[in-house]
A = this chain, B = another copy of it.
Amino acid sequence: MSARPVRYVAVVGAAAATPAEERIAGNVGRALAEAGAIVVTGGLGGVMAAACRGAREAGGRTVGLLPGEDRADANPWVDVAIPTGMGEARNALVARAVDALIAVGGEFGTLSEMALALKLGRPVVAIGGWRIEREEPATDPILRARDAAEAVRLVMERL
């Protein structure tokens, strides 16, 4: 039992990511694995694949919660692939499944995962990507990190 992992952290971002975003996501995955966390993603390509690959290369474990019905959609670095068949509703599963969330860039799907995680009280860290604020008072509830190391440090010190 002692080997049971303490923390689950989502790494979210676009399937169609830039090379820079993929490089950052790989570093996030690697740093999370080194910190002993299980990496949870949406299981597809781009940021999701890069994070899983980084985590696996560092000896970590990865979970993919897929939107579709076919396990074969998972990227090859997913250890445990769960085809949910729920479409975008799986974003709520990602947010629910984790103790914290790190976004690397990302599109609307990523934003929904950030919002759902915030709703659930999880720490949310972003590297680039979305800025959000209420009109008044103007506040941004997202923790900002410049790189993977800072993002993982911000997450782990809150868990």
Which residues of chain B come closer than 8 Å to A107, judged between CB atoms? Answer: 119
Q: How many copies does the complex hold?
A: 4
Q: Is A34 an interface residue, CB under 8 A from the partner?
A: no
For the complex formed, measure the closest distance between the CB of A62 and the CB atoms of chain B, giving whole angstroms: 10
Pick from A22-30, A127-135, A146-154 the stretch touching chain B.
A127-135
Which residues of chain B come closer than 8 Å to A80, judged between CB atoms? Answer: 38, 61, 63, 80
Pick the contact of A109 from B115, B131, B132 — CB < 8 Å?
B115
Give the CA-CA distance A91 to B129 in the complex, in Å. 22
Give the CA-CA distance A52 to B145 in the complex, in Å. 39
**A85-B84 CB under 8 A given contacts A108-B119, A130-B132:** no
Per-position binary interface string of chain A over residues 81-95, scored 1 when its CB falls under 8 Å from any chain B CB and 0 otherwise: 011111111011101
Residue ID in chain B nearest A110 by CB atoms: B115
Q: Is A55 an interface residue, CB under 8 A from the partner?
A: no
For the complex formed, measure the closest distance between the CB of A65 and the CB atoms of chain B, giving whole angstroms: 8
Pick the contact of A92 from B61, B88, B128, B129 — CB < 8 Å?
B88
Q: Is A15 an interface residue, CB under 8 A from the partner?
A: no
Chain A positions 71-120 with a Cβ under 8 Å from a chain B Cβ? 71, 76, 79-80, 82-89, 91-93, 95-97, 107-109, 111-112, 114-116, 118-120
